[in-house]
Amino acid sequence: MADVLTDTAPDTAAAVPEYPMQRDARCPLAPPPAVHGLRDGKPLSKVRIWNGSTPWLITRHADQRALLTDPRVSDDDLEPGFPYVNAHRAEIAPHTPRMITNTDAPEHTRLRRTVNAPFLVKRIEAMRAPVQKIVDELIDDMLAGPNPADLLTALALPVPSLVIAELLGVPYEDHDFFQRNSSIALDSAASPQEAREASGALAAYLDKLIGLKLENPGEGVLSEMAGRVNSGEMTRTEAVHMGVAMLIAGHETTATMISLGTLALLQNPGQLALVRDTDDPKVIAGAVDELLRYLTIVQTGVRRVAKEDIELGGVTIRAGEGMIFDLHAANWDPEAFPEADRLDITRSARQHQGFGYGPHQCLGQNLARLELQVVYGTLYRRIPTLRLAAPVEQLAFDRTGTTYGVACLPVAW
């Protein structure tokens, strides 16, 4: 303890709060309390991140909407001053090909249009029956298995794995391999070496599959991307990186929304009853958006850098200064969502920023909504006695990963 105290930074550093901030263990689903203070005080303030730099923290819903659609705000992580999430991201940035996650318009627009087709609203809607079948079968297995069970392993993790495998056209027998490697690649506790190896293993596997699809096109996104490689629209390397990105982006996030969404509903029995007892798909769709707002599981903030000076609310963000958009703060902004700390599935939450905002808003949001609509619309109806099998205080929350979630959610029925 004494060692820790003597290592404390000088007083001058104390004025700028550290980011990410600490949550209150008594309110595990709420954003860190200090974030509210920043949002409701000065319009913009600075925070200190892992490398000692002090980017701006953007917390208000309206400010985020304005800045995230501003062409002077860049997602190019090779721009000087970019506020990387961690050392690993900083280290890999110069070696990462240009893709939708690190480019600006017009390059971003071109790249995004090459990967959008599988996520068309009508194509996602056509997946509703297959997704329902996946969910029904997993719940069948869960009910036939031990009680209590871990909701993560029984349902939350396999649903997105199976759905992404179906979307990409990946054989099911490689499911375990995918789950293991995408978890490591995302785990901020993993060493840069481990994360690199996991991403590398996924990339090598997808490259092999795309190679097969180049010769024998079949169903799924990988076949479509192979077609675009054949026509010269994208390179094989771009296709592989997109495949890995889709897999990683859609897996843990959706799993977390299934588990934490269930936890939030179990803690709010009135809201759970509304979800369980309805036949109206609009009620379920509203519950999905409200849970996306309330939980805002991406906890590292959206990272950007200013390419030119930007005036906002009497403050000037200088060219070359980093910006962090805290999505949870914006989604709990009372100016946008009255009584934002209350879970209310009947409110109009459609303008939440749980998927981010601006041209980089989550590519897979339509698929994520579909998966969550099917799970929330099925699980509590089929298992109306579902309950937590461990006290909330004993759940291990991941406070450091990209997404805030639990490693295990024991449930009984």
Q: Does 316 bind other proteins (CB under 8 A)?
A: no
Nearest to 50, CA basis, from 295, 303, 298, 253:
303
Residue type, 355: F
Alpha-helical runs (H) found in 281-411: 281-295, 327-331, 365-382
Q: Does 26 bind other proteins (CB under 8 A)?
A: no
Q: Does 365 bind other proteins (CB under 8 A)?
A: yes
Nearest to 204, CA basis, from 228, 227, 174, 229:
174
**Contact set for other proteins, span 135-154 (CB under 8 A):** none
Q: Angle at the Cα of 403 (from 299 to 257), degrees rounded to 5?
A: 115
Q: How far separated are the first and last CA of the chain, in Å rounded?
A: 44
Nearest to 251, CA basis, from 182, 313, 191, 310:
182
Q: Does 358 bind other proteins (CB under 8 A)?
A: yes
Q: Does 361 bind other proteins (CB under 8 A)?
A: yes
Q: Which is nearer to other proteins, 17 or 286 (CB)?
A: 286
Q: Does 346 bind other proteins (CB under 8 A)?
A: no
Binding mask 80-109 for other proteins (x = CB under 8 A): -------------------------xx-xx
Q: Does 192 bind other proteins (CB under 8 A)?
A: no
Q: Does 69 bind other proteins (CB under 8 A)?
A: yes
For other proteins, the binding residue among 37, 320, 356, 410 (CB under 8 A) is: 356
Q: Which is nearer to other proteins, 117 or 407 (CB)?
A: 117
For other proteins, the binding residue among 359, 383, 392, 410 (CB under 8 A) is: 359
Q: Does 357 bind other proteins (CB under 8 A)?
A: yes
CA separation for the pair 67, 304 (Å, rounded): 10
- CB-based contact 108:100 (threshold 8 Å): yes
For other proteins, the binding residue among 130, 266, 351, 390 (CB under 8 A) is: 351
- CB-based contact 237:97 (threshold 8 Å): yes
Q: Does 236 bind other proteins (CB under 8 A)?
A: no
Taking CB under 8 A as the binding criterion, the range among 138-146, 153-161, 291-299, 362-370 that sits at the site for other proteins is 362-370
Q: Does 112 bind other proteins (CB under 8 A)?
A: yes
Q: Does 413 bind other proteins (CB under 8 A)?
A: no
Q: Which residues in 201-212 are b (16+ Cβ under 10 Å) and which e?
A: bbbebbbebbee
- CB-based contact 260:297 (threshold 8 Å): yes
Minimum CB separation of residue 362 from other proteins in Å reads: 8
- CB-based contact 255:405 (threshold 8 Å): yes
- Binding residues (CB under 8 A) for other proteins: these are 69, 105-106, 108-109, 112-114, 116-117, 119-122, 350-351, 356-361, 363, 365-366
